[in-house]
């Protein structure tokens, strides 16, 4: 399993950086976010270092998704969350600040500001159909 000596999350995997761990299996580790948006906000990471979504081994990505599903279910059952956001930030422009792939498991609590103060910056508005179609054409061509 590859690790990067200067990576904060690799240090958590190695046990040299403290964390509040909540789940672990052969390929993944889950720990609480120290800057939580909501009560129960956790991070799921692969134990092997991968910089971001573009770098992660497909098997580790699948393992992180399964772990995120497990942790999200616990958030609903154990914390009383009304829903859960799974968020991945890939690259600085997408708000990635730690360059080790991670999924945010963010429990959401309807009408409970004390437990849920997270407000995402995106407000859905109708898009331009021509721009949507042009982007779809480019994405199809790459496949």
Please tell me the predicted confidence (pLDDT) of residue 46. Answer: 98
Q: Report pLDDT digits (tens) over 77-133.
A: 999 999 999 999 999 999 999 999 999 999 999 988 889 888 877 677 788 888 888
Asked, for residue 73, whether it belongs to a domain, the answer is yes
Asked, for residue 110, whether it belongs to a domain, the answer is yes
CATH of the domain at 79: 3.30.428.10
Q: Global pTM?
A: 0.89
Quickly list DSSP for 3-64: --TT-HHHHHHHTSS---EEEE-SSEEEEE-SS-SBTT-EEEEESS---STTTS-HHHHHHH
Asked, for residue 49, whether it belongs to a domain, the answer is yes
Range of the domain at 56: 8-142
Please tell me the predicted confidence (pLDDT) of residue 140. Answer: 87
Asked, for residue 1, whether it belongs to a domain, the answer is no
Which residue in 49, 100, 102, 104 is the catalytic one?
A: 102
Q: Which long-range contacts (CB under 8 A, 24 or more apart) does 88-95 make?
A: 88/53, 90/52, 90/53, 90/54, 91/52
- Our answer to whether residue 102 is catalytic in this structure is yes
Asked, for residue 29, whether it belongs to a domain, the answer is yes
Please tell me the predicted confidence (pLDDT) of residue 132. Answer: 85
Asked, for residue 52, whether it belongs to a domain, the answer is yes
d(CA 72, CA 128) in angstroms, rounded, equals 34
């Amino acid at each position: 399993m590859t690790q990067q000596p200067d990576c904060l999350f690799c240090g958590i995997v190695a046990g040299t950086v403290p964390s509040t761990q909540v789940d672990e299996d052969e390929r993944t580790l889950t720990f609480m976010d120290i800057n939580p948006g909501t009560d129960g906000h956790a991070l799921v990471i692969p134990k092997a270092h991968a910089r971001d979504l573009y770098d992660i081994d497909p098997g580790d990505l699948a393992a992180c998704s399964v772990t995120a599903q497990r942790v999200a279910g616990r958030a609903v059952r154990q914390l009383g969350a009304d829903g859960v956001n799974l968020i991945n930030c890939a690259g600085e422009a997408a708000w990635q600040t730690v360059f080790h792939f991670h999924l945010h498991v963010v429990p959401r609590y309807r009408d409970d500001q004390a437990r849920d103060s997270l407000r995402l910056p995106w407000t859905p508005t109708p898009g331009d159909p021509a721009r949507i179609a042009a982007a779809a054409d480019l994405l199809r061509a790459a496949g």
